[in-house]
Amino acid sequence: AEIREACLLEVRGVEDAPDEPSPAGTPDGDTPLDDRLEGIKATQELDYVITPYKPNYLMVGYNPNPNNAPFQEAFPDENIDFKAAEVKFQISFMFPVAHNIFGNDGSLYVAYTNRSFWQLFNDELSSPFRETNHEPEVWLQFSRKTKVLGLTCRLAAFGFNHQSNGRNEPISRSWNRLFARFIFEKGSFAFSVKPWIIVGSRDGNPDIRDFMGNIEVRGAYKFNRHTISMMLRNNLQSGFSNGTFEVDWSFPIYRRVRGYAQYFNGYGESLIDYNVHTNALGVGLAFTDYF
């Protein structure tokens, strides 16, 4: 642990930094977003280390009304009956391609996120993966410290995102987006605004914009070692009829082991459910969260 800490301090360039009074934020003077950005900087300089992107977690989820319809349509001779309880997990990581593209700013990143829904407890169907969504993306990111309505805009990013479930018709789902992302902070609170434009084919889901909209807002707050986050999507566009919100709680259990609880209400928890209302609760373990 001491060697690891010494290496991280050297990478961050603060090994010989003088002690200064800590402003509001975390005890060492950094905000949670500062800590996350420093962690990204430290890991991306080390060989054979994967930098987390979105939260990485494993949980048991409960959805009282699983969506059987697309599978029953695809396999009319089969009796498709999904269980309400299933295992949900997400694996997400990022990789820097280039830094300082425009003078001393501008970094190019690529990332991949896998979100899977596994019917582990469904022996009748041989415990299949009900849905797996693959989400590669690439973006150009700029550092900022711009004051906006009492908040500080720390990052601005512009990129391309593809998401699909890797299935054949009639249960194929995919879409492509050009997006922008702006991340703001104030003390222990941070939030992002992510608008997008849908481009190209919408295989299997031509009306996905009606349910997934074209903007997502997510806020996260850290206190002690707890992180609470909330996501809102598509509420205004649909007049709140197709709105989606998600609440996540990451909390300490023992040392580096963290618990994770998630409540999802709305559309688009997975691509196969983009136009079906889902009301799901999950509890499990988190390996990384937003901070």
Residue with tokens 């997006």: 179
52-62 residue pLDDT tens: 999 999 999 99
For the chain, what is the mean pLDDT?
87
107, 116, 164, 174: the catalytic one is 164
Say whether 143 is catalytic: no
Q: Which of 2-6, 165-169, 173-177 has the lowest mean pLDDT?
A: 2-6
Collapsed DSSP state (helix, strand, coil) of residue 165: coil
pTM of the model: 0.85
Written as six digits, the tokens of 266 are 């709305």
Predicted confidence at residue 24, as pLDDT, reads 43
Q: What is the pLDDT of residues 25-42, one digit of tens each?
A: 444 557 888 888 787 777
Would you state the structure tokens that stand for residue 209, as one six-digit string?
């914009």
Q: Is 277 a catalytic residue?
A: no
Segment 100-118, tens digit of pLDDT: 999 888 999 999 999 999 9
User: Which residue among 99, 134, 162, 226 is the active-site one?
Assistant: 162
Contacts of residue 165, defined as CB under 8 A and 6 or more positions apart, other chains included, come to: 131, 132, 133, 134, 171, 172, 173, 174, 270, 271, 272
Amino acid 270: pLDDT: 96
- Both structure tokens of 151: 């908040």
- The three-point CA angle 258-261-265 to 5° equals 155
